[in-house]
Amino acid sequence: MDFEPWMLLVFPLFFGMGWLAARIDIKELITESSALPRSYFQGLNFLLNEQQDQAIEAFIEVVKVDPQTVELHFALGSLFRRRGEVDRAIRMHLNLVERADLEEDRKQQALFELAQDYLKAGILDRAEAAFQGLHGTPYEKEALDFLLEIYQKEKDWLKSIDISQRLTALTGEQHSKEAAFYYCELAASELAAKQTDAAVVHLEQALGVNPQSVRASIMLGDIELAAGRTSQAIDIWKRVEQQDAQYLPLVAERLLQAYRQNGDEAAGVALLQGYLQKYPSLDLMNVLFAVLVQRDGAEAAYLMVRNELKRNPTLLGLDKLLEARLLDIAGERRADLELVKDLIYQRTRGLAMYRCKHCGFKARQFYWHCPACHSWESYSPRRSEENGVAI
């Protein structure tokens, strides 16, 4: 592009306009800053120096001088809640909720914060009411998550199911696995009250929302076995292989018991041996070990464990191998083997635990619901050593 002389006039004009705009912005900034109370700047200074207590007191003075400082109300309320001063947080957020001059979106934000204050304080009925009041707002999804947390704490499984359905409708994310567990909890309550028919209905509902629900199948099989319908129980527990084969160790003892009641223990042993070949498992091996010792003798149990240890070497398997050998050995050699077994047992105690994959909590028994982090189905049915987890 060719240079034109008139362009020399444009540059000073643009420079002058920029200078004027900057002067106006600086003037407005100075005006706004001078309108802020001195306590505000003191509070900022305390925060910069990590003196939170003094900062809070300074900001409270700002709120007293200028009640219109909404953002400061929110900041103080959240800070109070994090510090555990929940009563002060409640007063701060409740004041915002009750202000008639506050915009609707700000009131919704204040109500969301107030609901969290109530939850932190353990006032669950007020927290529930506040979260329910956020239906149709931008905070609805988070409110539903908190409501689900409340209902699980209260063991209100029907409401938990309703919230999981609302979350699915709102977000499109499936909550079928959790809903199945809620139905299983309802079934467990009915069984405790000896209402077997109602329990069966809930378990069928669990399988309806999640056909892969192993827990529902195990519970249905237990009901059938208790009623003397052993063949039906066996058929139900066999489904676990298609649902999730890693849970077969949880039904191994049950299957063996049902086959015994049918007078066909050999078929039960053969079934479990087939499972062990396809799905190596320490717990399956332990069940077979016990029945083989009783039925076929220590040597048969020893050979089974030895073959399995060659195929799937573990310290827990070695401990079982030594146990098998100790069954038919005596004298000084037995004392030596017992010493070795004791040393291995001390080493493997931690390896025989079940472990939550979410929080790492370890337990000697299997849980469907982690007692530490309250996650559903977060425990692997395999022992820690099998999952490659160190002691």
Name the average pLDDT for the chain: 81
**Range with lowest mean pLDDT among 8-17, 119-128, 222-231:** 8-17
Q: Is 184 annotated as a binding residue?
A: no
Q: What is the pLDDT of residue 44?
A: 46
Summarised one tens digit per residue, pLDDT across range 38-95 is: 544 444 454 445 555 555 555 555 444 444 567 777 777 887 888 888 998 898 888 8
Predicted local confidence at residue 91, as pLDDT = 85
Model pLDDT, residue 384: 64
pTM for this entry: 0.77
- Identity at 56, one-letter amino acid code: I
pLDDT of residue 387: 59
The reported pLDDT for the residue numbered 85 is 86
Q: At 215, is the pLDDT very low, low, confident or very high (cuts 50, 70, 90)? A: very high
> Is 356 one of the annotated binding-site residues?
yes
Asked if pLDDT for residue 19 goes beyond 70, the answer is no
pLDDT score of 196 more than 90: yes
Is 50 exceeded by the pLDDT of residue 33?
no
Any known ligand binding at 370?
A: yes
Per-residue pLDDT, 23: 44
pLDDT over 50 (residue 340): yes
Asked whether the predicted pLDDT for residue 239 surpasses 70, the reply is yes
Q: What is the pLDDT of residue 331?
A: 65
pLDDT at 278 over 90: yes
